[in-house]
Amino acid sequence: MSETDWIASARQGDVAAWEGLVGGHQDAVFRLAYLLLADADEAEDVAQEAFVRAFQALDRFDASRPLRPWLLGITANLARNRRRSAGRYWAAVQRLFREHPEPPASVEDTSLQRLESKQLWQAVQRLGPADQQVIYLRYFLDLPEAEMAAALQVAPGTVKSRLHRALNRLRPIVEREFPPGREEHGP
C-alpha cells in the first residue's frame, strides 16, 4: 500500500492507516522536535501534538505531495512556538522577581503560602484548558492585559471577558472544595 493509499484510508477514518502513517514518521518528527528543543519530554509532547494537528488537517493536505515534509513543518512550527512561549514565560518570571522582590518570610508563613498556592493551583486545574490558561497568565505570571492579549492572540477586551468567565467558574470550585481553614493532608 502506498503512502497516498494510507492517507486516503486515514481520511476515511481508518485508524490502522493513520497509525501506519504515524509509525512511519514518528522517529523523524521526534528527532526534529528534540533537535529544536533539546529536551526529550518537550520533544515527545511536540511530536504528539504535531500528529494530532496533522490528523485534524489531513483533509486539507495535498496527497500528491510527500507527507514527511508537511509533518516536519508542523513539528518545527510547534517547537518554535514552544520555545518562544518558554522564553516569554521566563522573561515574565524574571520581570516579576525584579519588580517585586519577596521579603524574607517566616517558615510558618512560607508553609501556609505554599499550601494555599497548591490548593489554588489544584482548583484551577479543575477548569478547562482555556480557563486555566487565562488565569495562569494573569495571576500566576502576573501579565498585564495587553501582554495576555498578545500571548493569546486575541483582543484585550476578549481577555477581560475570558478572565471574568474563568473566575466565575473558579469561585464555586474554591468555595466547595477548598474552604478557608481546611488543610490538605497527603495520602
Q: Is 71 helix (H, G, I), strand (E, B) or coil?
A: helix
Q: Work out the pLDDT band at 184, boundaries 50, 70, 90.
A: very low
Evaluate whether residue 97 is within a structural domain: no
pLDDT at 11 over 90: yes
- Domain count within the chain: 2
> CA 26 → CA 12, 139, 156, distances in Å?
21, 37, 38
Q: CATH number for the domain including 8?
A: 1.10.1740.10
pLDDT, one tens digit per residue, over 82-109 is 877 766 656 666 666 666 665 555 555 5
> CA 2 → CA 20, 24, 64, 142, distances in Å?
11, 12, 11, 51
* Residue type (1 letter), 179: P
Give the closest residue to 78 by CA, choosing from 141, 36, 40, 119.
Answer: 36
79 and 142 in one domain?
Answer: no
| Model pLDDT, residue 50 | 95
CB atoms within 10 A of CB 59: 8
Question: Which residues have CB under 8 Å from 17's CB, separation 6+?
Answer: 5, 6, 7, 9, 10
Mean pLDDT over 58-73 rounds to 88
Evaluate whether residue 41 is within a structural domain: yes
| Model pLDDT, residue 132 | 80
Q: Which of 10-19, 32-41, 82-91 has the lowest mean pLDDT?
A: 82-91
136 and 83 in one domain?
Answer: no
- Give the whole-angstrom CA distance, residue 117 versus residue 140: 10
29 and 83 in one domain?
Answer: yes
Evaluate whether residue 184 is within a structural domain: no
124 and 82 in one domain?
Answer: no
Percent of the chain with pLDDT over 90: 26
pLDDT, one tens digit per residue, over 125-160 is 888 878 887 887 777 666 778 777 777 778 888 989
21 and 84 in one domain?
Answer: yes
Q: What domain range includes position 112?
A: 107-177
Mean pLDDT computed over every residue of the chain: 80
Which pairs count as long-range contacts for 136-140, CB under 8 Å and 24+ apart, including other chains? 138/163
